[in-house]
Structures are given as C-alpha cells and as structure tokens.
Structure 1
Amino acid sequence: MEANQLGDDLKTVLISEREISDKLDEMARQIERDYEGRELLLVGVLKGAVMVMADLSRHLNRHVAMDWMAVSSYGSGTKSSGVVRILKDLDADVQGRDVLIVEDIIDSGLTLSWLLANLRSRGARSVEIATMLRKPDAAKVHIDVKYVGFDIPNEFVVGYGLDYAERYRNLPFVGLLNPHVYEK
C-alpha cells in the first residue's frame, strides 16, 4: 500500500521503506559483530514487532533462533496501571542464552522494563534490545537500548507494524497519522 492510497489519513511519511531497509542492514552488521561466535535468540514482541523481526532476521548473515512473546499492560482506558500480563509466553528456555528483544517502538518503556527484568530472572546469559523506533520524549523509565533504528518525535505514528485500531500495520513505511483519524 502506498501513501497516496490513504487519502487524508496520513499527515506525512516520516521514514521511508528505503530508509528502514538501510537502517536494518546497518543494525544487522553491528549485531553480527557483537554476537560473533555466539548463539543468539531473537525474541519478538507481538504484534508490532512482526515486520521488524522478519526483516531484521533476513538482513542477518548468520543463523538465529526466533521466538515470540505477547505482553499487555492494562489499566483503565488509555492509561496503563503498570501491571503487565503475559498473553503468549516463549516456547524456548532462555537459561544461559544470549537474548535480543526485538521491538517496533519504545514509548514510555514501562512494559519493556518489566520484560527485561522478567527475561533476566529466567537466567538468560544476556538480554539486549533492538528497536526500530524510539520516542525519547515519551520515556517514563530509562532503558539501555543497544540497537536503535530511529529516534522520532512524540507523535502518533503508524506503519511498519504499528497500528491504529488494527489498521495501517502493513504499510512499508512509518508515517504520522492525521489527528482527525484518532480523535473521532
């Protein structure tokens, strides 16, 4: 789907498909250097990380194991209570393994902070994070992120796995959604 097929839903394309691919290639080369000679387990966080996980793994020139988790922080309305619930747990045991969490975006960092602690408590040898997008101005907790694709403004973005009401995930780029779409 192209940007011009979205009518006035999209304010602008923030990061193009080409820029995403180039950044994934750059991240993959760094990951290969950092994990040379070591087994690596990629853990994708559903649903948003599907695109990043698939494309990042294809940019890697090495074998990697992959697994998925789905977690939810819930509360009243749009505010998180800080309580995290595992909706889909890993199939793999992380004990003694090098784990790379793959995310689409880091906003507040609250859920990811919990996930880091959870995987470390399971005895992982190392746990690091790779994310395509990070919103530094939205952070509520500090998280060390080893691989960051792009820092972006604290605005509502869609595409490349990111959705609004389960729409726009399949866009090959990241765009800013026009407020009239989500302020209905």
Structure 2
Amino acid sequence: MDSNDVSADLAHVLYTKEQIQEKITELAAQIDKDYEGRDILLVGVLKGACMVMADLSRALHSHVTMDWMAVSSYGSGTTSSGVVRILKDLDSDLMGKHVLIAEDIIDSGLTLSWLKSNLQSRGPASVEVCAMLRKPDAAKVNLDVKYVGYDIPNEFVVGYGLDVAEKFRNLDCVATIAPHVYQ
C-alpha cells in the first residue's frame, strides 16, 4: 500500500519506501561483513518483523536460515505490560548457531530483553539484534542492539510491518497516524 492510498489517515511520513530500502541495504552490508564465513539464523518476531525479515534476508549475501517466534506483552493495549508470553516458539535448535533477531521496532525494550535472554539460554554461538526502528526515549531497560536502522521519537508509528488494530502493516513507508485513526 502506498502512502497516497491512506493519506487522510497519516499525519507525517517519517521514512519513505526508498529510505527504508537504502537502510536495509546498509544494514545487510554490515551484517555480511560481521558474519563473513558464518551462517546466520534469522529469527523474526511476528507479526511486525515480517517486512524487515523478508527484505533483510534478500539483501544479505550470506547464507541464512529463517525461523519465527510470536511473543506478546501488549495484551489489548498499546503499551507493553512487561509480562511476556510465547505464542509460537522456534522450530530450530539454537545450539552453536549465530542468531540474529530481526525486529520492526524497539519501544520499551522489555520484551526484546526477555527474548534475547531466553534465546541465549538455548546455547547459541551468538545472539544479536537488528531493528529497523528504535525509540530511545521509550527505553525502560539497557539493551545492547548491534544493528539499528533509525532512532525515532517516542510516537506511535505504522507501516512496514507496524500496525494499529492490524491495519497499515502493508504500508510501504513508516508514518505517524492522524489522531482520528486511534481515537
């Protein structure tokens, strides 16, 4: 979906489709360099990371395998509860593997901190994070994130996998939404 399709629902486009793809290419080049000669297990966090994971995997020149997890800490609200539930676990054994978690956005960092710790307990060679977006002002924990696309203000954003009530995930840019959408 193009931003013109829903322009009345958007307040401001933060990053265009072209800017996102440039950043994905840049992140992939750094990941390829850092993981040279090693296979990577990309772990996507459903549902938001679907776009990042797909585009990043195609931009990499390294061999990758992919797996998915679904975790929840939001409940019915728009802020993290801090209590994490695994809704879908990995199918892969992590023992000795180089795991790269692909994330759409890091808000408080609570869920990702829990997830990273959980995956590290499974015996991988390494666990790192690649997030397209991060909200430094929303952080509630100190979390080491090796690859970050963009740091953004603490605003609610949609597009490129991010949603409000399951809508806007297929928007090809990242944007803030107009108040009438969520009021």
Q: TM-score, normalised by structure 1?
A: 0.95
**Residue 91 of structure 1 aligns to which amino acid in structure 2?**
D
Find the counterpart in structure 2 of residue 55 from structure 1: 55
Find the counterpart in structure 2 of residue 150 from structure 1: 150
**Residue 20 of structure 2 aligns to which amino acid in structure 1?**
I
Q: Please report the RMSD computed on the Cα atoms of aligned residues, expressed in angstroms.
A: 1.3
User: Cα distance 1:61–1:77, how it changes in 2: closer, same or farther (>3 A)?
Assistant: closer
Residue segments in structure 1 that go unaligned for 5+ positions in a row = none
**Residue 165 of structure 1 aligns to which amino acid in structure 2?**
A
**Residue 121 of structure 2 aligns to which amino acid in structure 1?**
S
Deviations 1:8-63 (A, max 9, x none): 21011110000000000010010001001112100000000000000000001121
**Residue 102 of structure 1 aligns to which amino acid in structure 2?**
A
Find the counterpart in structure 2 of residue 31 from structure 1: 31
Pairwise CA distance, 1:81? 3.7
User: Cα distance 1:19–1:139, how it changes in 2: closer, same or farther (>3 A)?
Assistant: same
Query: Equivalent residue of 1:25, what SS?
Result: helix
Find the counterpart in structure 2 of residue 123 from structure 1: 123
Partners of 2:156 and 2:81 lie apart in 1 by 21
Structure 1 segment 149-168 matched on structure 2, within 5 A: 149-168=149-168
Find the counterpart in structure 2 of residue 133 from structure 1: 133
Partners of 2:29 and 2:154 lie apart in 1 by 28
Residue segments in structure 2 that go unaligned for 5+ positions in a row = none
Partners of 1:13 and 1:62 lie apart in 2 by 32
**Residue 90 of structure 1 aligns to which amino acid in structure 2?**
L
Query: Equivalent residue of 1:150, what SS?
Result: strand
Q: TM-score, normalised by structure 2?
A: 0.96
Pairwise CA distance, 1:94? 0.4
Find the counterpart in structure 1 of residue 110 from structure 2: 110
Pairwise CA distance, 1:76? 7.4
**Residue 39 of structure 1 aligns to which amino acid in structure 2?**
D
Partners of 1:80 and 1:160 lie apart in 2 by 20
Find the counterpart in structure 2 of residue 93 from structure 1: 93
**Residue 62 of structure 2 aligns to which amino acid in structure 1?**
R
Deviations 1:107-127 (A, max 9, x none): 000000000110001111110
User: Cα distance 1:27–1:85, how it changes in 2: closer, same or farther (>3 A)?
Assistant: same
Pairwise CA distance, 1:79? 5.0
